[in-house]
Amino acid sequence: QVQLVESGGGLVQAGGSLRLSCAASGGTFSRYLMGWFRQAPGKERKFVAGITSSGGRTYYGDSVNVRFIISRDNAKNTVYLRMNSLKPEDTAVYYCAASPGFGDPVREYVYDSWGQGIQVTVSS
């Protein structure tokens, strides 16, 4: 497993932008499929975005497609989530996750390492 630490969350007004970062350590980052999930209060955790180990392919949940962009820098062992045109319904705790790369990237069970989560709050 790899250790993951998220940063970059906070409070932003609707229409604004944020960039989340997730720094990985303790593993070979370039081998991992990486994902972002989020959990709003009282709701289940949901897939937001995923990126293959090389960065060559990305995946997005329906609610964030076009507005969010996932990227990675394997030299820095970091994955990013650029969030644009934020809406109040994007308010949630955002989690970074790492997978050895097998299975459907939108499924939680594919990932075996998780960060502690970081709060993103979008005010109207």
Q: Return the pLDDT at 115.
A: 98
Q: Return the pLDDT at 54.
A: 93
Average pLDDT over residues 109-115: 96
DSSP state of 84: -
Is 101's pLDDT higher than 80?
A: no
Q: Which is nearest to 98 in space by CA: 63, 119, 122, 74? A: 74
Residues 102, 15: Cα–Cα separation, whole Å: 35
Is 63's pLDDT higher than 90?
A: no
Average pLDDT over residues 46-72: 94
Average pLDDT over residues 33-50: 96
Average pLDDT over residues 77-100: 97
Residues 121, 66: Cα–Cα separation, whole Å: 20
* Three-class secondary structure of residue 11 per DSSP: strand
Residues 69, 58: Cα–Cα separation, whole Å: 9
Residue 69: C-alpha distances to residues 3, 12, 34, 93, 101 (Å): 22, 17, 13, 17, 20
For the chain, give the mean pLDDT: 95
Is 62's pLDDT higher than 90?
A: no
Q: Return the pLDDT at 21.
A: 98
Largest CA distance in the chain: 40
